[in-house]
Structure 1
Amino acid sequence: MIRIAITPAAYAAIAATLPGSVGVEPQRAPNGDYFVWLDPAVVTRLAAMRGPGESYSDVILRLAKAGS
């Protein structure tokens, strides 16, 4: 598992859909981000979808918007 930090907006966009296999740390980052633990394959897919200057949170929000 790989730990990444995502913004509260990105977390809110996916929180209801997170499978039980995703770990969310109770303690948040100093800037308010959530720490989530993801399978390395998921992190690799997110990284591949990132555009120039995009964060994992940007990708998550873009995907959530496209799916709604």
Structure 2
Amino acid sequence: MIRIAINPAAYAAIAATLPGSVGVEPQRAPNGDYFIRLDPAVVNRLAAMRGPGESYSDVIIRLAEEGSGSAE
């Protein structure tokens, strides 16, 4: 498992859908980010989907918005 940090907005976008295989650490980062542990294949996929200047949080939020059909 690989540990990444995601911001509260990204966590809120996916919290209800997190499978049991995703580890959410109880301790949060000093800036309020959540630490989650993901399978390396998932992290690699997120990394491949990142655009210039995008964080993992940006990708997660974008995917969640696309999946819900919302457009801004």
Give the deviation of 1:59 after TM superposition.
0.1
Q: Quick one: distance in 2 between partners of 1:23 and 1:66?
A: 24
Larger Rg: 2
Unaligned runs of 5+ in 1: none
Aligned residue for 1:50? 50
User: Is residue 9 of structure 1 aligned with residue 9 of structure 2?
Assistant: yes
Whole-Å separation in 2 of the counterparts to 1:67 and 1:21: 21
Q: TM-score, normalised by structure 2?
A: 0.94
The aligned runs of 1:1-68 (5 Å cut-off) are 1-68=1-68
Quick one: percent identity of the two aligned structures? 90
SS of residue paired to 2:31: coil
- Residues of 2 paired with 1:67 and 1:25: CA distance? 25
Looking at structure 2, the residues matched to 10 and 3 of structure 1 have their Cα atoms a distance apart, in angstroms, of 15
Superposed CA deviations along residues 34-61 of structure 1, whole A, max 9, x for unmatched, are 0000000000000000000000000000
Aligned residues: 68
Question: What's the Cα RMSD here?
Answer: 0.2
Match of 2:32, SS state, is: coil
